[in-house]
Structure 1
Amino acid sequence: MLVNDNPPTIRRIDTTRDDAYAFDVTGHVTAPDIENMYGLLEGAYEIHDKIDLLVRMSSYEGFDWSAAFKETTMIGKTHALRHIRKYAVVGGPAWIATMMAVFKPFMSLEMRHFEVDEEADAWAWLDAEPAEG
């Protein structure tokens, strides 16, 4: 098996700001994918008390719902609520925007959903850009 035969489902996108983090979600998201993402975010919280986050769902193919209720996922979500200032989601299924709208009044962080063709607006809202590779 070659290293690229199974690329990660959630990949970090480097940004132009130290306290702005971004991820590209492709394929079917599993518990290990979520744990890896929250691990990267925990590292960010060690460096920055508050961060901005963009999640681009470019080729999302589903979610392992059992992963949403694992203890590590719940802990990751709790920490995220304390450390994320702005949270932008680009693309994804229609229910993402609906869920964000439902939970927005109960959250201390700013959240916005952007359509795929509005990705530049999402980056502008965070006052960040993807870093040149």
Structure 2
Amino acid sequence: MDLPAGVTRIATDRPDVYAFRVTGQLNREGMEKMAAEMNAAFDTHQGVNVLFLLEDFDLGDAAIGYGSQSMKADLRSITNVDRYAVVGGPKVAQTMIESFGRVIPVDAKTFPQEDEDAAWAFVGARPV
């Protein structure tokens, strides 16, 4: 499913695993649509696993699109996400994700581009 502005939903073989391809073209509309989709997932499932495949993305790209849906999804993810995987992305984002994974009840890991298969295994799903 294509979401606007730099986000594409990747269908998976499990209904409780959500995967997204995110590019440097991400904007506020894309962030809000992705967050709304995750909020709907949190309404549907007791817990979900999430995988982000980042391409041509830097941390500055994320700051441009933070709205009410994004804030709500971030807060809800603390109690609704079991596993959180990020493939690619800048080193600073990897450090931040790994650090948050140690202080919140989410099993969070980052993977280099060449280890995408390991990230899929970590979230327990495959793309379809």
TM-score of Structure 1 vs Structure 2, range by shorter chain = 0.7 to 0.9
Q: CA deviation at 1:26?
A: 1.2
Partner of 2:55: 58
* Alpha-carbon RMSD: 1.7
Structure 1 regions of 5+ residues with no counterpart?
A: 1-6
After TM superposition, where is structure 1 displaced by more than 3 Å over at least 4 residues in a row? none
Rg larger for: 1
Q: 1:111 aligns with which of 100, 108, 113?
A: 108
Partner of 2:43: 46
Higher strand fraction (1 or 2): 1
**Matched-pair identity in %:** 29
| Residues matched between the structures, number | 124
Partner of 2:73: 76
Tell me, yes or no, if the aligned pair for 1:28 and 1:64 is still in contact at 8 Å. Answer: no
Q: 2:16 aligns with which of 4, 14, 19?
A: 19
Determine helix, strand or coil for the equivalent of 1:104.
helix
Q: What does the per-residue CA deviation read over 1:84-110, in whole Å, with 9 as the maximum and x for residues that have no partner? A: 000000001111111112222211010
Tell me, yes or no, if the aligned pair for 1:12 and 1:22 is still in contact at 8 Å. Answer: yes
TM norm structure 1: 0.84
